[in-house]
Structure 1
Amino acid sequence: MPENILGQVLVVSMVDDERKYDHAFVKVYVEKALIPSEKLRRSHEGARVIGKAIHKCIYWEFVDVCPKLGCILP
């Protein structure tokens, strides 16, 4: 298991990238924040750190999501 796990998540869906961001994002549901002060890649409903996104869906870069482990990485 990776050492720098930011949180435990469930992958909800892939994001249809209409705005052409540089990276592909996925929508994840945050179950638990292990490093609550980590900044979100894209703000969501006023939340700017992962600790404020618990029990909400946020967007995270696909390359930093480990679906088998149910976690996100920095």
Structure 2
Amino acid sequence: MLSFYLCRGDETVASMLERINKEDTDGITYVCDEVSDHCFINDDKFVHADKIINYHNEYWAVHAVGKDQK
């Protein structure tokens, strides 16, 4: 299921990505490039993202890259 994360206050795309990685209960690491992962509702990046960050009503696709060894 696609998860959405809304940046609030002084949060940025980078700080939200850091929080997502810190709080993931399954130990999955995620990446998001602020330039190439900027996306729009229903475009290919949006549809295939594992998670979406919403920052000032714009969207960034977040993708899983691996599971930490715990």
TM-score by length of 1: 0.31
Q: Greater strand share, 1 or 2?
A: 1
* TM-score of the superposed pair, with normalisation by structure 2: 0.32
